[in-house]
Structure 1
Amino acid sequence: GRTELVRAIAGADPISSGSVRVAGRPVHLTGPAAAIKAGVVLVPEDRKAQGVVLDQTIGENLAIGNFDHVAPNGWVFPKAVQKFAEAGIGRLGVKGRPNQAVSKLSGGNQQKVIIAKWISRPPKVFILDEPTRGIDVGARAAIYDVIAELARSGMAVVVVS
């Protein structure tokens, strides 16, 4: 169903038929890296299994998928990761520090880390599969505010619920 469809659009699952277009242009999605390069990102339904690396820090999780920001020429610069993480934490209101393990965060703050990771690119198509599943009311409102802000900015936002 719905999760399989968005995973295919985001390059996480193979497409058996049909095509994906971004900004009117067909894209060939051979995997998540190709989708990210085409500007398509996914906040998965199961954040703990597919969205974050629980034993890594907030900074490390934000750096994943954003090495162009924190690792120019292939070398990861800790100060760049710290600065990048502070910006993501501030933008989404994550209650945590860049060097804090994601496993120590609430579900809502883990979800904010995933969203912060992707909006820093910024993508052309932002897909969120059950973005508020298992999080508290306060975090839910904050996430919906971010989604509305992204849509107002002109980004294509797909929310699956």
Structure 2
Amino acid sequence: MNYVTFGGVTVGLCILGYQLMGWYPGRKQLMKDPVKHASKLLPFLASWAYGCLTTLGIGGLIGTASSSVLGLSNWLGDAALVWGVGESVGQQAGAKTFVPLSSPGAALVLIATCVFIAAVKKASEDNSKTLKLGAWCGITLGTSAGVAGFAAVPLAQAANWCGDNLYAAI
């Protein structure tokens, strides 16, 4: 099972804060056309959900890549906490339990990986960066014990349900 340290969560929250500050149009503009501005967050949120799903019991190359990103994020965040603010490291911040993906759910993650790669290749440079940051943020926050970690349970259940229904229909 993948676990995340406080440093990894810190990296994920830094990515989330960076993305939100780059997106925020200002109160006046947001109140004027909230749907237009909220829709600009959809690519980030979709790739966040994908990144979160890759941490939930996925093996193979996708799971290895996700675990590597999580391990690197843990190390970077722990190093930043030690050198930046003098905090101790290595404390697990992960959720105690999570809903693993079923076989059809895991197959759906493979399909989502193909779609994600195509989206990154097709997107403009800025949108490609947004997609990559979203997936990275999802990987780091998907197994946290906070709100993002709680979001992993419904995401896994939705992936399992969609996979079950997709493969039952074929």
TM-score (norm 2): 0.27
Richer in strand (by share): 1
Bigger-Rg structure (1/2): 2
Structure with greater proportional helix content: 2
